[in-house]
């Protein structure tokens, strides 16, 4: 995860067994998100969604920062870019929503600071494990920007109204302990322990029953957005009850061994 490349590139996707890793790769500008990066992220997410062998995604950055957010110069040139999808580039909001809706559980490996729109990109992930030197801030008010709708919903539903107001309305920078206290970080660890903790969580998530994990993730996200599809949740529950995964889980429990799920 500490590999540095000689030159900046669009986000890099690697797949190893059941785990996919996407790495933002513009370390000289703290992994600033460019329009080309949005396009590539969307393609990577689509590839992960289409691959039934993948059971967990880790999103991280190269270098000392996770990401400094969206390219402000491009936003000035294309004032609709943050919210409205265009023929020549996807919107930041659309790509963030695509990440949130991925069927597989996702971990954001916060190797450093996270700023602007990338704070929402991390919130789209199911887990955020960050170093104890991490920091974050949302500069929307300082820039004169009204944030896009789904990002504000994520802030409020995940962090609570008071924390969302503080971060959005004051543009105040906060440090890792406060990020943990408000629930932005799922876990805070020393830098030397980051990779081991991410690896442990990724392995655990990949070992769970895929139909159950993916179905429950979908239902929980619907509840958070106040869009709960009760009929859909019941259908997913019935599918899990009739699955090979459940039979394998019960056999493994009786035999006192680790289950081996096939996702069927």
Question: Which helix H or strand E contains 20, and what residues bound it?
Answer: strand 19-24
Over residues 6-35, the mean pLDDT reads 94
Average pLDDT over residues 201-211: 96
pLDDT at 207 over 60: yes
Q: How far is CA 27 from CA 9, 95, 98, 133, 203, in A?
A: 10, 21, 24, 17, 27
Region 214-239: what's the mean pLDDT?
94
- Token output for 132: 């104890």
pLDDT at 184 over 80: yes
Give residue 109's Cα distance to chain centre. Answer: 9
Residue 17 has pLDDT above 60, yes or no: yes
Average pLDDT across the chain, whole number:
91
Q: What pLDDT, in 10s, does the model give residues 241-255?
A: 999 989 989 999 999
| CA atoms of 44 and 13, how far apart (whole Å) | 7
Per-residue pLDDT band at 119 (split at 50, 70, 90): very high
Q: Which residue has the higher pLDDT, 205 or 72?
A: 205
Write down the pLDDT at residue 263.
77
Weakest-pLDDT range from 60-69, 97-106, 142-151, 200-209: 142-151
Please check the confidence at residue 203 and state whether its pLDDT lies above 90.
Answer: yes
Residue 171 CA to chain centroid, in angstroms?
22
Residue 71 confidence class, pLDDT cut points 50, 70, 90: confident
β partners of residue 16:
19
Cα separation, 38 vs 18, in Å, equals: 24
In the structure, what pLDDT confidence band is assigned to residue 6 with cuts at 50, 70 and 90? low
C-alpha span between 167 and 95 (Å, rounded):
22
* Alpha helix (H) residue ranges in the chain: 35-50, 72-77, 92-100, 117-123, 140-143, 149-159, 161-170, 176-181, 194-207, 210-224, 230-241, 244-255
Report the pLDDT averaged over residues 79-107.
Answer: 80
Six-digit token string for 87: 């023929």
Please state the rounded mean pLDDT for residues 104-125: 97
> Of all residues in the chain, what percent carry a pLDDT higher than 90?
83
Examine the pLDDT at 76 and tell me if it is beyond 70: no
- Phi, psi at 255, each rounded to 5°: -90, 0
Residues pairing with 109 in the sheet: 129
pLDDT computed for residue 2 by the predictor: 44
Instruction: Spell out the residues 6+ positions from residue 6 whose beta carbon is closer than 8 angstroms to its own.
Output: none
Q: Terminal CA-to-CA distance of the chain, rounded, Å?
A: 32
In terms of Cα–Cα distance, which of 76, 62, 2, 1 is closest to 32?
Answer: 62
The arrangement of strands across the sheet holding 174-175 comes to 65-67, 113-115, 135-137, 174-175
> Rounded mean pLDDT of 38-64?
96
């Amino acid at each position: 995860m500490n590999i540095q490349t000689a030159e900046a590139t669009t986000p890099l996707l690697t797949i190893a067994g059941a785990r996919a890793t996407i790495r933002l790769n513009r370390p000289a500008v703290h992994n600033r998100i460019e329009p080309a990066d949005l396009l590539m992220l969307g393609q990577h997410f689509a590839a992960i969604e289409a691959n039934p062998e993948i059971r967990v995604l880790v999103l991280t950055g190269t270098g000392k920062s996770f990401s400094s957010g969206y390219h402000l110069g491009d936003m000035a040139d294309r004032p609709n870019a943050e919210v409205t999808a265009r023929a020549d580039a996807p919107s930041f909001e659309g790509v963030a929503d695509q990440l949130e809706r991925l069927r597989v559980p996702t971990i954001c490996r916060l190797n450093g600071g996270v700023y602007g729109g990338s704070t929402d990109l991390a919130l789209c992930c199911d887990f955020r494990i960050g170093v104890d030197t991490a920091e974050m801030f949302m500069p929307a008010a300082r820039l004169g920007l009204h944030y896009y709708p789904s990002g504000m919903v994520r802030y409020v539903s995940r962090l609570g109204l008071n924390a969302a107001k503080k971060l959005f309305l004051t543009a105040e920078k906060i440090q890792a302990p406060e990020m943990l206290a408000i629930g932005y970080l799922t876990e805070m660890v020393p830098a030397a322990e980051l990779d081991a903790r991410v690896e442990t969580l990724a392995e655990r998530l990949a070992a769970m029953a895929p139909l159950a994990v993916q179905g429950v993730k979908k239902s929980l996200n619907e509840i958070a957005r106040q869009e709960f599809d009760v009929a859909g949740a019941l259908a997913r529950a019935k599918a899990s009850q009739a699955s090979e995964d459940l039979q394998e889980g019960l056999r493994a429990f009786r035999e006192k061994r680790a289950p081996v799920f096939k996702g069927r």
